[in-house]
Amino acid sequence: MSINTKIIGRSVPRIDGRDKVTGAAKYTGDIKFPNMLFGKILTSPHAHARIISIDTSAAEALPGVKAVITHKDVPDIKYGISPARWDENIFCIDKVRFVGDKVAAVACTDEETCYKALKLIKVEYEVLPAVLDFRKAMDAGMPQVHDEYPKNINVEIHQEFGDIEKAFKEAHLVRTDAFLGNRAYQSPIEPHSATSLWDGDKLTVYSSTQSPHYFQYYIAREFGMDMGNVRVVKPYVGGGFGGKMEPTGLEFAGAVLAKLTGRPVRMFFDRHEMFAHNRGRHAQYMEITTGVTKDGKILGAHSNFMMDGGAYTSLGIATAYYAGALLPLTYEFDHYKFDLFRLYTNLPACGAQRGHGAPQPKYAFESHLDNVATELGIDPMDIRILNARRPETVTPNDFAIHSCELTQCLTRARIISNWDAKKKEGGMPKGHGIGVSTGSFVSGAGYPIYRTDLPHSAVVIKVNEDGTSATLYTGAPDIGQGSDTVLCQMAAEAMGFHYEKMKIIAADTETCPMDLGAYASRLTLMTGAACKSAGEEIKKSLLEMASSMLHLPPDDLECEDAIIYSKSRDGKALTFQEVARKHFVLKGPLIGKGSYNPPKLGGKFKGSPVGTSPAYSFGVQVGEVKIDEETGEIEAVGFWDVHDCGTVVNPRLLHGQVHGALSMGMGESVWEEVLFDDEGRIKNPDLANYRILTALDMPPVESEIVESYEDIAPWGVKEIGEGSTNPTMGCFSNAIYDAMGVRVYSLPLSYEKVWRALKEKREREHGGKE
């Protein structure tokens, strides 16, 4: 279905583009207040240790130090982002649980004094044995990370839908493969920071956050304050990717230090501290078994996973459920079993990273599916087309799928990548290989992170008194993905106004209606729906006003391009501006309100809410790689991404999301991995040794979308930002296999691992040594 829109579908330039290319854009760390202090957090040097004593006297005596705080100075209420497990304290009380765990904080007149003061805090520790390998965390005799959670089990999941035994019994082939994932880190370019200041009983926190609302909720809860007395403001944010979803010690410690000193306090992480705070991708051990018919039809699948959670829960309960819950999205089968343990270790806590729990399981499943296809002698593209999900179906775990153009995406990817020609004998140069993988993701989570009946998104649009502009007020945080721009496009579309005349005030809990935040790829659909309602309310008020001015019935009138005209009579027209002005004069402010609550979604079993969404995106990636047989070096020759993301609001921004997701996915596929020494210290906590893509590494990419319309969403929109990360790792794995006939069973698929796999293959083929 194609729709007739004026602004939706246009690549308008970003509303914040000018600010960002001139240096005018202020990020949290750029904001300065008179009399402001600087604060830093002291962290643990040990992976696991008992705190015997803390002596802050020498630090307090240093000139320029204004306050030093430890657990004694802050509430001892445990917090977290996931109410299922609140297991963090602002500062450690009896034990530290990873290298980087928070112990104390200082506020000083300048940054340099902060570092000197931290060195003067004396903490006596009794070092304890640590859990560093999640795969051994449940073993007998392992140390306990948290006394409350026996065998270091943070969460365990056992779900079965249909009858997996029966499916495997009826299958022509039952195959199991096991894969190991990597710890990846979001690595936004902007480090986290937060500046706290008090005005009487009211606390204001400027923070580089993806969710002002959750920050407000958790800060208020921790300090026993009314939410109305906590204002969280998001200035420009330099990327989040899931790592800025939950309040850190920066907000909590900063608030306490600001209260104690009576001065604004800016707290900040350096790059090393960002890696230590983490909340990045969980490393997962993934065993996948499927039963298929002779033709390659999947009858059932069993996912058996373990996850390295790190020392705390963070968003990990949701991650754990997502890991298995999203797997049945792209392929249709009736029988599904999902088992998982998320384990505590004495390493930095893992959380939600772009694609949440899904990308690593997707790597495992897509690699496994190619193994199955090879065993059956079926083309990898054909086995995916055979099993591809169709529209208006339900997954075995009760997710209702409406629009779904996965088959079209596969068919199109096959054509634009020249798949069939390349798969023929001699279709590609020596050393080249081509792989395909699919992905799908939620367009917003069906349920909020903590239980509440508040709407997920709400907005207000206020038309300026003289009708020459309109301002959108929304709690939705633009963290770089472009929500300020697309939401203004959607608001203007609904009003019949001009995008160029839109202003926006966003992500400030005091001036804007609430929004849950930038996560689960939710803003375009959910906040977009609120913008549509608010814009339509404005249009309705305008048409009523115009009706009395033109003496025509309101339903004979329409507003487009800021012109209100009669649908039946030529020549009868007024401008948006004059009608809006008249409205203000006669009826007061011209305001539209909108809010969005998803419909009731999902099944009735334990964990059923995770993975529910009003709508799901679908996508396919094909990648061509070239492998250097001598060195194992992987060169990405070309990538093709074809997506079903419903109606596209802003094509240029959309393709930018695909490119960015691909670059992050490629980094995680080939290079990215946070490494630890045998005492739990990070070996590569910087951007020289934790290698993200440079401009020289990015392969040529063709990004296409297929025609699709989601009935349940405003203007038929769906998500793009997170889902595009899901296929990439599987795509690389399969392309490498196609090129060399070797499968690398662990991420990252590094040059070294490819080289070793090739060496082993040669040894096998030559019956022993080379």
**Which one among 93, 702, 746, 761 touches another protein, defined by CB under 8 A?**
702
**Considering only 235-243, 381-389, 393-401, 514-522, which stretch makes contact with another protein by CB under 8 A?**
235-243
State the minimum distance, in angstroms, from the CB of residue 708 to another protein: 11
> Least separation, in Å, of the C-beta of 704 and another protein?
5
In angstroms and rounded to an integer, the radius of gyration of the C-alpha atoms of the chain is 27
Smallest gap from residue 240 Cβ to another protein (A): 8
Residues 171-230 that bind another protein (CB under 8 A): 186-191
Distance in Å, CB of 527 to another protein, minimum: 18
In the numeric block, which tokens belong to residue 483?
A: 């929500």
Task: Report if residue 27 touches another protein, rule: CB under 8 A.
Answer: yes
Would you say 402 or 652 has its CB closer to another protein?
652
| 150-153: Cβ within 8 A, 24+ apart | 152/343, 152/344, 152/345, 153/341, 153/342, 153/343, 153/344
Residue 531 Cβ vs another protein, minimum distance, rounded to whole Å? 18
CA dihedral 347, 726, 610, 474 (to 10 degrees): 100
Among 214, 241, 419, 596, the residue binding another protein under the rule CB under 8 A is 241
Q: How far is the CB of 654 from another protein (least distance, A)?
A: 9
Which of 143, 122, 134, 161 lies closest to 49 in space, CA to CA?
Answer: 143
| Span of 113-121, 618-626, 693-701, 758-766 interacting with another protein by CB under 8 A | 693-701
Binder among 466, 633, 677, 686 for another protein (CB under 8 A): 686
Sheet holding 563-566, edge to edge: 557-560, 563-566, 573-575
- Nearest residue (CB) to another protein, 132 versus 634: 634
Using DSSP, state whether 188 is helix, strand or coil. coil
Q: Of 428, 442, 472, 653, which lies in the binding site for another protein, with binding defined by CB under 8 A?
A: 653
Q: Is 14 in the site for another protein (CB under 8 A)?
A: yes
Answer yes or no whether residue 25 interacts with another protein by CB under 8 A: yes
**Residue 545 to residue 19: CA distance in whole angstroms:** 36
Q: Is 6 in the site for another protein (CB under 8 A)?
A: no
**In whole angstroms, how far apart are CA 607 and each of 118, 157, 280, 612?**
43, 8, 22, 10
Single out the segment in contact with another protein by CB under 8 A; choices: 341-349, 374-382, 586-594, 696-704: 696-704
For another protein, give the closer residue by CB, 381 or 717: 717
Candidate list 7, 258, 428, 662; residue touching another protein; CB under 8 A: 662
Applying CB under 8 A, among 1, 18, 392, 587 the residue interacting with another protein is 18
Q: Which is nearer to another protein, 564 or 692 (CB)?
A: 692
Beta carbon of residue 119, minimum distance to another protein (angstroms, whole number): 16
User: For another protein, which stretch binds (CB under 8 A), given 176-184, 457-465, 504-512, 688-696?
Assistant: 688-696
- Cβ contacts of 266 within 8 Å, gap of 6 or more: 29, 31, 36, 37, 38, 39, 193, 194, 195, 254
d(CA 174, CA 289): 7
Is 390 or 683 the residue whose CB approaches another protein more closely?
683
Residue 475 C-beta: closest distance to another protein, Å: 19
Q: Which of residues 710-739 bind another protein (CB under 8 A)?
A: none
Task: State residue 516 phi and psi, 5-degree precision.
Answer: -65, -30
Nearer to another protein, 152 or 669 (CB): 669
CA 393 – CA 451 distance, rounded (Å): 28
Report the nearest approach of another protein to the CB of residue 5 (Å): 9
* One-letter amino acid of 497: F
**81: nearest Cα among 270, 186, 219, 283:** 219
Nearest 5°: phi and psi at 715? 55, 15
Q: Does 693 bind another protein (CB under 8 A)?
A: yes
Measured from the CB of residue 87, what is the shortest distance to another protein in angstroms? 29
Taking CA atoms, 326 is separated from 365, 566, 591, 603, 715, in Å, by 11, 49, 40, 14, 25
Quote the DSSP letter at residue 608.
T
The reply on whether position 352 binds another protein by CB under 8 A is no
Measured CA to CA in angstroms, residue 591 lies from 31, 62, 387, 553, 578 at distances of 31, 55, 49, 22, 16
User: Does 705 interact with another protein (rule: CB under 8 A)?
Assistant: yes
Residue span binding another protein (CB under 8 A) among the ranges 15-23, 117-125, 573-581, 582-590: 15-23
> Toward another protein, which CB reaches closer, 237 or 311?
237
Query: Using the rule CB under 8 A, which residue among 655, 718, 743, 753 binds another protein?
Result: 655
CB count in 10 Å sphere of residue 415: 12
Which residue number, 112 or 124, has a Cβ lying nearer to another protein?
A: 112
Q: Does 447 bind another protein (CB under 8 A)?
A: no
Closest approach of another protein to the CB of residue 580, in Å: 28
- Kindly give, in sequence order, each residue whose CB lies less than 8 Å from that of residue 551, ignoring residues fewer than 6 positions away: none
Instruction: Using the minimum distance from each CB to another protein, give the nearer residue, 191 or 609.
Output: 191
- Residue among 694, 765, 768, 770 that touches another protein (CB under 8 A): 694
Task: Name the nearest CA neighbour of 610 among 338, 288, 404.
Answer: 338
Asked if 681 is part of the footprint of another protein (rule: CB under 8 A), the reply reads no
Which of 182/541 has CB closer to another protein? 182
- Residue among 125, 161, 223, 236 that touches another protein (CB under 8 A): 236
Q: Is 664 in the site for another protein (CB under 8 A)?
A: yes
Token pair 């210290």 in the structure block, residue: 681
Q: What angle do CA 189, 193, 195 make, to 5 degrees?
A: 150
The strand pairing partners of 53, in sequence order, are 124
Half-sphere exposure of 607 (CA within 13 A, CB side): 21
Structure token pair of residue 574: 């007024």
Q: Which region among 20-28, 281-289, 432-440, 752-760 touches another protein (by CB under 8 A)?
A: 20-28
How many Å is the maximal CA-CA distance in the chain?
93
* 490 lies in the binding site for another protein (CB under 8 A): no
Count the site residues for another protein by CB under 8 A.
64
Scan residues 242-281 and list those touching another protein (CB under 8 A).
270-271
CA distance 95 to 145: 9
- For another protein, which is the closer residue by CB, 346 or 481? 481
DSSP string, 136-184: GTTSTTPPPSSTTSGGGEEEEEEEEES-HHHHHHH-SEEEEEEEE---B
What backbone phi and psi angles, to 5 degrees, belong to 279?
Answer: 75, 25
Which residue's CB is nearer to another protein, number 607 or number 685?
685
C-beta closer to another protein: residue 25 or 385: 25
At closest approach, how far in Å is the CB of 183 from another protein?
17
Positions that interact with another protein (CB under 8 A): 9-11, 13-14, 16-27, 29-30, 32, 186-191, 236-239, 241, 270-271, 479-482, 647-648, 651-653, 655-656, 659-664, 686-688, 692-696, 698, 701-705
